[in-house]
Amino acid sequence: MSEQGGLNVERTRAAERYRPERVRILLVAQMPPVVEAPDPPRYFYFENVTKHDHLFRAVARGVLGIEPDRSNKATWLARLCDEGVFLIDLKSDPLDPRPLTDFVPSLVERCRLLAPERIILIKADVYDAAFGALRAAGLPVSNVRIPFPSSGRQREFGEAFAAALSTEGEQPLDSGSAGGQRRPPQMIDPEHGLYLKAHGHGNERRFARLFREVWRQLPIQDRDSMLAHWANWSPADEHGMGHVSVSLENLSRLRHDRAVGDCAGMGMELKFYARVVDQLPDPLVRYVIAHELAHVLQVSRGQQLSPPTGHPLGDKVAYLTNPVEPEADSIARTWGFDGVGFDRWLAHYVRWDSLPPDPY
HSE-CB for 43 with a 13 A CA cutoff: 23
Among 280, 253, 57, which Cα is nearest to 166's?
280
- DSSP state string for 116-144: -SEEEEBSHHHHHHHHHHHHHTT--B---
Q: Kindly report whether the peptide bond that precedes residue 32 is cis, defined as omega within 30 degrees of 0.
A: no
Mean pLDDT of 194-203: 83
Write out pLDDT tens, residues 83-129. 999 999 999 888 899 999 999 999 999 999 999 989 999 999 999 99
- For residue 254, the one-letter residue type is L
Position with higher pLDDT, 63 vs 306: 63
Between strands 25-29 and 118-121, the pairing is: parallel
Domains of the chain: 3-166 (3.40.470.10), 178-354 (no CATH)
pLDDT, residue 68, reads 81
Position with higher pLDDT, 274 vs 231: 274
pLDDT, residue 183, reads 55
Highest mean pLDDT among 6-10, 11-15, 322-326: 11-15
pLDDT, residue 4, reads 57
Mean pLDDT of 144-173: 76
C-alpha 169, offset from chain centre: 13
Portion of the chain with pLDDT greater than 70, in percent: 86
pLDDT, residue 50, reads 75
CB 128 within 8 A of CB 68: no
CB 180 within 8 A of CB 186: no
| H or E element in which residue 157 lies | helix 154-166
The least confident of 5-19, 176-190, 229-243, 340-354 is: 176-190
Query: Please, what is the average pLDDT of the chain?
Result: 84
pLDDT, residue 168, reads 42
Mean pLDDT of 298-312: 74
Residues 6+ apart with CB under 8 A from 38: none
Q: How many CB atoms lie within 10 A of CB 99?
A: 11
Instruction: Say what the pTM is.
Output: 0.61
Show the CA angle centred on residue 126, arms to residues 122 and 132, nearest 5°. Answer: 115
pLDDT, residue 174, reads 38
pLDDT, residue 308, reads 53
Q: How many CB atoms lie within 10 A of CB 49?
A: 19
Alpha helix locations (H) across 25-123?
54-64, 73-82, 104-114
Q: How many CB atoms lie within 10 A of CB 225?
A: 17
CB 211 within 8 A of CB 230: no
SS (H, E, C) 5-16: HHHHHHHHHHHH
The least confident of 96-105, 141-150, 302-311, 334-343 is: 302-311
pLDDT, residue 307, reads 61
Burial 294-333 (b: 16+ CB within 10 A, else e): bbbbbbbeeeebebeeeeeeeeeebeeebebbeebbebbb
Write out pLDDT tens, residues 18-49. 999 999 999 999 999 887 767 778 899 998 88
Three-state DSSP at 195 gives: strand
